[in-house]
Each structure stands twice: as C-alpha cells, then as structure tokens.
A and B are shown apart, each in its own frame.
Chain A
Amino acid sequence: EAGVAQSPRYKIIEKRQSVAFWCNPISGHATLYWYQQILGQGPKLLIQFQNNGVVDDSQLPKDRFSAERLKGVDSTLKIQPAKLEDSAVYLCASSLGHLAGDTQYFGPGTRLTVL
C-alpha cells in the first residue's frame, strides 16, 4: 500500500513570498491532517479535513495560511505571505476515520526555510 505522499520535500523562500505544499493521502482515507512541526517540538495541528469538509481549523493562522481538499482526496496548504517564524516542517497525515483509536499515517514532510 502506498503511503502518504508530499511535495516538495524542501523549500527555501524569502519572507513575504508565497509557497504551496501538496499532499496525497493513502487511498480510501477520509481524514486528512496538516501539522506544523517546529524544531524541537511536537507537531501542532493546523487543519483537519473529513472528506472535503473542514473539521477543525482553529489553530490555522487564517490571515496567511489557507488549505483546501478538493474532491476529498489531495490537499494543498498555502502560506501567503510567509514570515520568518513559519520556518518548520509541514506534515501531512491521513487516517481511515477520525475516532480516538484511528492510526494517523504521516508523509515525509516538507521542510520550509524562510529567509
């Protein structure tokens, strides 16, 4: 079974530029998550989708971050404009459902450096 795919793996941009990340979850997984992981910290949930609907985006900085999941499969996360503090690894994960015991499967992440 193919895992969660993410691209690009690395991105370097200057502050105030825009950037987009792509995620393809495991086939059949209804729930998709975007996390931000700052060096030395655990992942922080940015947004959770159930199919193509948003379940929780309470920690998404909506003035600069946006995300969509068209057709309930692939998803993109965009940052516009980027700030220095956005430097982090952006992780995409998916799970069959959204219940407490459901295992989340993670992609390799995109390492973003904002200069």
Chain B
Amino acid sequence: GDSVTQMEGPVTLSEEAFLTINCTYTATGYPSLFWYVQYPGEGLQLLLKATKADDKGSNKGFEATYRKETTSFHLEKGSVQVSDSAVYFCALAASNYQLIWGAGTKLIIKP
C-alpha cells in the first residue's frame, strides 16, 4: 500500500543553518505531495504542496521538489529561524484521495 517515510527527529540546528528534512514515498500512480507544519499548541497547517512530477512547492522560504525518479519530496530552507521550530509532516494523497502521513519530524532551532 501507499506509504510515506520521513527522517526521524528531533533535528536540532542553529539559527541561519541550512535545513533538509528527507521524505520518500511509495505509491501507485502520481500522487499529490504535501508538507504540513504543526507549531507548538497549534493545529496542522499546509506549508506547501506539489501535484505533479518536477513541480516545486514553496512557501515562507521553504521549498520541496517532487522527484518521481527518486520518489522523494525533501523539504529545504536556506536559513532557518527560531520561529521555524515545529513538527513537520510529509504526506501524500492516495488513489482514494485520502492523505497518507509520515510520522513527523520535530525541528528545534537554537538561537
């Protein structure tokens, strides 16, 4: 069945460091891919998405490119801030349109 695997956390970085959170998927067909973020005490919110191969989603300085050949959708940011501390979830929309979620990666940014 469809599945999403993302790197385990927590990931701890210093402010202004480069961020990569790995996400790979297994799916039939060409699913839409998503990154959601959950800030402390808040609900999940969509960070970015890509609906077809080679699409790049971007928002708030974060980027992720839909790589069909490597079945990956890695999240990157060039210079992280303390305010980026949160839990990040990779997800895909399965053939029945339901979201399949990764386990989440906690990101801690130290000043």
* Residues of A contacting B102 in the complex (Cβ-Cβ under 8 angstroms): 42
Task: Using known A-B contacts A100-B32, A106-B43, determine if residue A42 contacts B93 with beta carbons closer than 8 Å.
Answer: no
Residue of A nearest to B89 (CB): A42
**CB pair A4 B43 closer than 8 Å:** yes
What total of A-B pairs shows CB separation below 8 Å? 53
Q: Is A26 an interface residue (CB 8 A)?
A: no
* Residues of B contacting A109 in the complex (Cβ-Cβ under 8 angstroms): 43
**Docked pose: A71 CA to B109 CA in angstroms:** 45
Q: Is B91 an interface residue (CB 8 A)?
A: yes
* Residues of A contacting B45 in the complex (Cβ-Cβ under 8 angstroms): 105-106
**Docked pose: A41 CA to B101 CA in angstroms:** 9
Q: Is B69 an interface residue (CB 8 A)?
A: no
Q: Is A75 an interface residue (CB 8 A)?
A: no
**CB pair A42 B104 closer than 8 Å:** yes
* Residues of A contacting B104 in the complex (Cβ-Cβ under 8 angstroms): 40-42
Interface of B toward A, CB cutoff 8 Å = 4, 31-32, 36, 41-46, 49, 51, 89, 91, 93, 96-99, 101-104
Interface of A toward B, CB cutoff 8 Å = 3-4, 40-45, 48, 56, 91, 93, 98-109
